[in-house]
Amino acid sequence: MNNNSYAPIRRTKIVATLGPASDREGELERMLRAGVDVVRLNFSHGSAEDHRNRLRQVREIADRIGRSVAALADLQGPKIRIARFSHGEVELEEGQPFVLDMELGNEDGDIHRVGCDYKTLADDLSVGDRLLLDDGRLVLDVDAVRGREVHTHVVVGGTLSNNKGINKLGGGLSAPALTDKDREDLQTALDIGVDYMAVSFPRSAADMDEARKLLGEKGREIGLVAKVERAEAVADDDTLDGIIRASEAVMVARGDLGVEIGDSELIGVQKRIIKHARSLNRAVITATQMMESMIEAPLPTRAEVFDVANAVLDGTDAVMLSAETAAGDYPVETVEAMERVSLGAERERSAQESGHRIHQGFARSDETVALSAMYAANHLEGVSAIACMTSSGYTALIASRIHSGLPIVGLAHSAVAQRRMALYRGVVSLAFDTSGMEAGALNDNALALLVQHGLTRVNDRVIMTRGDHMNAHGGTNTMKILSVTADHQGR
């Protein structure tokens, strides 16, 4: 394994959700300076104008502080919810009967029954099914389905308030992944210029294919993120791999997924999703409740520290913050804590070693060059960085599938490609416009840029990958081992 003596660069990326907390004066800039790599625009909350204004501010701040920050639009999807109670909430007791009534008015719920916004729920249920409400805090077992009424009894009781979500243990609810609201929000995401778009509750690759079709030519540079949160999505490897292949990235959305498959299964499934995504050359985000106590506290719990560190050691590209940064009291402190924990986990030897695809063949030249460069860099003395000249960011993505302690520098003229690389583990993206350069000056100019950014220094080696024709997708066919000389300083 190769090491250098530079200050550590955090390899695991941080995704932070924007909201009222990040809207506070100066807070967004402090969050970006603290290390946020990707901002999440949660379309379950806020208006189109809210999202537009927040992304405009992100782009202005990122340009001013010299960072590439990606934007992820997260579609709400078919969140299946109960309707509302006439007095705001009810207290359900263990053993009592309770009815989900598809015909009941939206505001007419009481201690005996409540309506539902998903009018075909009864068609998906049968006697013996278990329903989990409010993220599993309340549990109902189905005793009978009579027309549009689902008759249940309470297994785990508690306070049930308006509009809480419903999940079926083991999955099987047939609501489509893309709702009418999602289709409207998709157009908003296109208009404001996001870099990634997350699709909620996909059951198969077909749901991701539908989203890709809706994006059309205008959205061809937007990366699709599949939020893995349905039991059906992880029921077998073929289904999971199909969803991963149909996406540019996946998210381990542990809230609804944990409710549907059970918490005891969740950690193993999380590890399986991360492993499969990396094997299939896709980025992966681990999300939900990673530092939830920091919504109200300035420091994380030990359990949260271990949770984040475990995801880092598994090889996740990014860890995600939700309410912690959108609505919490300590958004900047949460980002800083996430950075500390990630850096600590990345110091472990296992986080810097890799056997990725070492026994597999390759079908593409750019894959072969990228992975060869990473193995060479990890074993050749004196290498301080891997530099990938890339038009789309794909070479840097492939290289980042291999664990290393060295920075991977993605050099791209396209601002879209630069932001896309902001999600990839271990990748530092820099603007590098080759349009006015002579071919013989490319390598020297690239090395000078790395020196300027403190990523390498005189007498170091840099492994460079590039193609014969710059700005051509999939054209990487060359790997060179270059020495940094005094000529590259102040160039």
Residues carrying an active site annotation = 40, 81, 227, 288
Nearby residues of 285 by Cβ (< 8 Å), 6 or more positions away? 15, 225, 249, 250, 251, 252, 316, 317, 318, 319, 320, 423
Burial of 490 per CB tally in 10 Å (0-12, 13-18, 19+)? exposed
Relative to beta strand 138-146, strand 130-133 is: antiparallel
Helix H or strand E encompassing 71: strand 70-74
Phi, psi angle pair for 192, to nearest 5°: -85, -10
Q: Encoding tokens for residue 186?
A: 């998709």
Give the Cα separation of 334 and 344 in Å (integer): 15
What is the strand order of the sheet 130-133 is part of?
Answer: 113-114, 97-101, 149-156, 138-146, 130-133, 166-168
CA distances, 276 to each of 237, 240, 241, 255, 355 (Å) = 9, 8, 7, 20, 14
Query: What residues form DSSP beta bridges with 142?
Result: 152
Given a contact cutoff of 8 angstroms between Cβ atoms, the answer to whether 65 and 42 are in contact is no
Q: Amino acid identity, residue 417? A: A
